[in-house]
Amino acid sequence: MRNKIIYLSLLISFLFPAIALSAEWAKKYGVGLPKAIERTQDGGYIVVGSSQNNMLAFKVDSDGNLEWAKTFEGNYTSEIFAVKQVPSDGGYIVVGRDGLIIWILKLDSSGSIEWQHTYKKDYFSFAFDMQEAFDGGYVMVGYTNPLADGDQDILLIKISSNGTVEWAKTYGKANDDVAYSIQKTSDNGYIIVGDTSPFGNKDIFLLKISANGTVEWSKTYGSSTAIERAFAVKQTKDNGYIVAGYRYDETTSKVLLLKVNSNGTLSWANTYQTSASTGYGYGFAVDQTADGGYIIGSLKNDMWLLKVDQNGNIKWQKTYKDLAHYAFIDEHDFAFHPLLVEENGYVLFGHDSSGYAWIMKLNSNGEINDPSCTIFGSENVTVSDVTLSEGDFVTSGSSGTEATITSNSTNATVQDPGFSESQV
């Protein structure tokens, strides 16, 4: 691996404790841009993204050995943003886009298509995240743009297990509102995170809804002197929420971490910056660890992993030289579903400057036990308290605005991308 990594666009995944990790490894596969990863029932991984402007999905076992890889060609530029395994049959639901519309495919356990649908509201619609619903269907979030007023609205769509639209809603105010992630909550509801633009500057929002989409509470967090954005949210052991994103003050971007209670009231907010951060820093993934602290997957000039305690104080951190992540789509820069937790370490995936998709399995310190591996580093970190103003977002009790979704069956061309794994 030593000098073979030139540039790696990384997403970081921590998978739920279930199966002990095998030894660390790093492998590359073929030309592709991974954007989401899930642990599978057999202990392996399903990775999705794009390759040559087509949807990409490939499956590996627990040691990173390739089992299958497929691309799915639509009518326009297409890519996958999220994937979930279907517990009942071992297949997969993937959500992405074909041009300016949402595209969902149901795959069997070998990656063959069982059904596929497109979904659209107004001029264009995107869905960036998806969760299995409590009744066995799926909910997906993103945004839609009607063009009539030019404002983007949060879009929430509920579908059945066979892809039929059951209901759809939009939320937001008279400005651009975009949702990036949705997570289940312990009270059988959902928490949604994204950003809103009330006065030109972007602020973070949290939107807590019931299973049927009724707003229970919502909050904005921001300031008049900087841009604040968030891409990841997780419910914490105290039933509050931890949120990761960034803060940009016209000179630099810093990783931003927010902790709020179960009602969305802000408990604390910190920014993190290394001495080498000379332009930007993004927090694109977060999860709570067994000790009550948090792990943050982030980006500065290099990839950056931070372990903090329950109050946001740094316990350790690692940088990954010449490794980075940056995603850009339709004027929204964010990472795709990057963080899940494994029992004894982490899984990173991305692509290098030659366009090859990679997966790396790391130990609990974020490293590979190989003395010849020289990509790991550490830097001085400045942690700063941030004062953010809380505001109202969507009225509690609101059911959102009912949305009419056009859904159509479609036919993808399935191809073999020619992947094969190689140890790095």
Q: Is residue 409 part of a domain?
A: no
Q: Is residue 27 part of a domain?
A: yes
How confident is residue 11, by pLDDT bands cut at 50, 70 and 90?
very low
Domains contained in the chain, number: 1
Q: Is residue 117 part of a domain?
A: yes
Kindly tell me if the per-residue pLDDT of 32 is higher than 60.
yes
Residue 383's domain comprises: 11-397
Enter the tokens of residue 198. Answer: 């009330």
Going by C-alpha positions, the residue among 226, 219, 142, 233 that lies closest to residue 180 is: 142
What are 85-91's contacts with CB under 8 Å, separation 24+? 85/38, 85/40, 85/41, 85/46, 86/161, 87/41, 90/40, 90/41
Rounded to an integer, the average pLDDT of 198-209 is: 88
CB 287, CB 347: distance < 8 Å = no
Q: Is residue 335 part of a domain?
A: yes
* CATH, residue 389: 2.130.10.10
Rounded to an integer, the average pLDDT of 123-130 is: 90
Rounded to an integer, the average pLDDT of 206-233 is: 94
d(CA 91, CA 78): 21
pLDDT digits (tens, 9 = 90+) for 326-359: 555 444 445 566 556 688 888 877 777 677 888 8
The per-residue pLDDT for 318 is 82
Enter the tokens of residue 148. Answer: 């009539």
pLDDT digits (tens, 9 = 90+) for 357-409: 888 888 888 888 877 777 777 777 888 999 999 998 988 888 889 888 888 88
Q: Percentage of the chain surpassing pLDDT 70? A: 85
Q: What is the largest CA-CA distance in the chain?
A: 59
The per-residue pLDDT for 90 is 96
Residue with token string 């997906």: 140
Enter the tokens of residue 261. Answer: 């209670």
Q: Is residue 322 part of a domain?
A: yes
Q: Is residue 147 part of a domain?
A: yes
Strand order in the sheet with 45-51: 33-39, 45-51, 54-60, 66-73, 413-415
Mean pLDDT of the residues in the chain: 85
Q: Which of 143-152, 254-263, 270-279 has the lowest mean pLDDT?
A: 270-279
Q: Is residue 404 part of a domain?
A: no
How confident is residue 289, by pLDDT bands cut at 50, 70 and 90?
confident
Q: Is residue 3 part of a domain?
A: no
